[in-house]
């Protein structure tokens, strides 16, 4: 079975003390993850070391950064490199979240570099894609997402692609309380998988985990995750509340 992942994206929320307390609650809650399941926490940079320490003895719990530089090292004040993340034993990194694309001008080309640098450092990139409301209203979402995948992923070898996780996050569903319907999510996930199939073949495409993000909550996670091509979720708001995120982890297939 493909890896099923419940990923928390804290974004720019919680103080160090609040974040530490939240993680403590989560690691001390009895949740028996199966071999093919994982819980991942994308926390702010200053909390990475604490977070890695907190989850290191929990089976299949991992820490992610929310971003990294597309450059290896050097005079890039304020940036954090993939090599730095690796040196902290961080296993995952979000790449191309729509907020990074929108507010920090990250292009598909820059994101291709970020994927390369994560992979070169043994960090699993969680590549985010997804369309804005206007694009969906014009029924152009499939072509739009296909373009994002082509421009950022398609230079990768089969072996490299197998190390990537994809997150489909329709922008109109992020932080709005408006979740994509199960049908809309499944339809896009199947489309993403078919795009991967055309480029990389069936067997590779079938192995790639595709997470859904956008107003995932305890109350809708199970139904969303039950879809054939939905392999878990990338969760913002509801990941800041222990009771909510615990139920979301438990909702994994």
125 contacts ligand 13P (rule: CB under 6 A): no
Verify whether residue 191 is a known catalytic residue: no
- Piece of the chain touching ligand 13P by CB under 6 A; list 23-31, 112-120, 153-161, 212-220: 212-220
248 contacts ligand 13P (rule: CB under 6 A): no
The number of residues that bind ligand 13P (CB under 6 A) is 14
CA–CA distance, 161 with 195 (Å, rounded to integer): 13
Largest CA distance in the chain: 48
Taking the complex as a whole, the smallest distance from the CB of residue 128 to ligand 13P amounts, in Å, to 7
Strands (E) located in 88-205: 92-95, 124-129, 165-168
Residue of 169, 191, 244, 247 marked active site: 169
Verify whether residue 169 is a known catalytic residue: yes
Alpha carbons within 13 A on the beta-carbon side of 23: 30
CA–CA distance, 247 with 217 (Å, rounded to integer): 8
Q: Which residue is nearest to ligand 13P (CB)?
A: 236
Which x/- pattern over 83-102 shows residues binding ligand 13P (rule: CB under 6 A)?
--------------x-----
Taking the complex as a whole, the smallest distance from the CB of residue 235 to ligand 13P amounts, in Å, to 5
Assess contact for 95 and 118: CB atoms under 8 A. Answer: yes
Taking the complex as a whole, the smallest distance from the CB of residue 57 to ligand 13P amounts, in Å, to 26
Assess contact for 56 and 19: CB atoms under 8 A. Answer: no
Q: How many degrees, rounded to 5, is the angle at CA 240 between CA 9 and CA 110? A: 15
Taking the complex as a whole, the smallest distance from the CB of residue 58 to ligand 13P amounts, in Å, to 22
**Residues at the contact surface with ligand 13P, assessed by CB under 6 A:** 9, 97, 169, 174-175, 213-216, 234-238
């Amino acid at each position: 079975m493909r890896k099923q992942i419940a990923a928390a994206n804290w974004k720019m929320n919680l103080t160090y003390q609040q974040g530490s307390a939240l993680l403590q609650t989560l690691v001390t809650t009895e949740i028996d993850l199966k071999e093919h399941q994982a819980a991942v926490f994308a926390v702010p940079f200053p909390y990475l070391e604490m977070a890695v320490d907190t989850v290191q003895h929990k089976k299949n719990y991992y820490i992610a950064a929310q971003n990294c530089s597309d450059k290896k090292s050097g005079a890039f004040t304020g940036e954090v490199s993939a090599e730095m993340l690796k040196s902290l034993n961080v296993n995952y990194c979000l790449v191309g979240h729509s907020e990074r694309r929108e507010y920090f001008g990250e292009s598909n080309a820059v994101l291709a570099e970020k994927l390369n640098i994560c992979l070169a450092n043994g960090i699993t990139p969680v590549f985010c894609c997804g369309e804005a409301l206007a694009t969906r209203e014009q029924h152009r979402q499939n072509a739009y997402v296909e373009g994002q995948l082509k421009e950022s992923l398609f230079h990768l070898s089969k072996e490299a692609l197998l190390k990537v996780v994809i997150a489909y996050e329709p922008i109109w569903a992020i932080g709005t309380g408006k979740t994509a319907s199960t049908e809309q999510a499944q339809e896009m996930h199947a489309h993403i998988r078919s795009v991967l199939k055309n480029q990389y073949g069936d067997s590779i495409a079938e192995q790639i985990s595709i997470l859904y993000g956008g107003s995932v909550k305890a109350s809708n996670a199970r139904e969303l995750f039950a879809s054939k091509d939905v392999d878990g979720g990338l969760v913002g708001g509801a990941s800041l509340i222990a009771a909510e995120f615990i139920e979301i982890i438990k909702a994994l297939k």
